[in-house]
A and B are shown apart, each in its own frame.
Chain A
Amino acid sequence: MTLAILDLPASLPPTGPWTAAAMIASVVLCSTTGEVLTAAAMKSIGDLDDIRAHSGLRGAIRAVLTCPLFFAGVSFLALAFFSLLFALNHLNLSLVAPASASLTLVTNAIAGKVFLKENVDRRRWTAAVLVCIGVYLLAH
């Protein structure tokens, strides 16, 4: 689909391993920053079900849309999407999709522990690593 939109030639130009790693790293970094900022925004807003019970669906939507942290998060998620498209412009889908999807899970576990002070215990580490390998195998 992406190739059809960008009207690319079938064969991709060769890219060095460091450039490829930098492209994937920028996707993972933007995506992790976006996820952490969005999660921090939603935590600062509070339980959306409670807000909806109190002030209706409109109140819940207003609570989300008036949070600057939420827009910062969405901007980074959009940046991650465009850097993914940029990486797909130079690298194969079979490399970029599994690498970025699985690495994001591990970096998010680290960022959740460091920045959001979440209790990432042995159970969550095991889950993150298992899902990371699983997503890699599935997307490869």
Chain B
Amino acid sequence: MKPLPAINLAHPGALIAAVFTPWIAAGIALLIGFFASYLTALSWADLTFVLPATAFGNVIVALLSRFWLHEPISLARWAGIALITIGVGFVAHGPSRTELPAEVNSPPEVVAR
């Protein structure tokens, strides 16, 4: 968005035109990909498993901005990166889905549908 001129509500057409610039179109395509993968993950794992795990994206963004965009990262942010990584490690070590008692006791072909 930064190379584009400032968009205001008086000229909403500029916002629609911005959607078709290559970088923004690529960003929207990637966001659609994210949402599709997120929904697929939610279809076989718990929300309380998926949500902390996807927070690892914050760490990737911080590391990319450090090593690709050469932005400085403060000590507090490094601490944040460490905490998120430990948290994701914690949740990923456990089961991804809450098995209800009925599902556990039923034969495998019923569970697999």
Contacts and interface: CB of A to CB of B under 8 A. Distances in A.
B82 interface: yes
Sort chain A's interface into a size bin.
35 or more
Contacts of B90: 123-124, 126-127, 130
A113 B48 contact: yes
A105 B77 contact: no
A134 B43 contact: no
A1 B1 contact: yes
Interface residues of B, number: 44
Interface in A1-49: 1, 4-7, 35-36, 38-39, 42-43, 45-49
B6 to A, nearest CB: 5
A108 B113 contact: no
A105 B91 contact: no
Nearest to B5: A4
Given A7-B6, A140-B76, A128 B98 contact: no
A47 B62 contact: no
A138 B77 contact: yes
Interface in A97-113: 105, 108-109, 112-113
Contact of A7 (B1, B8, B88, B95): B8
A137 B83 contact: yes
Interface of B: 1-2, 6-9, 15, 39-40, 42-44, 46-52, 55, 58-59, 62, 76-77, 79-88, 90-91, 93-95, 98, 100, 112-113
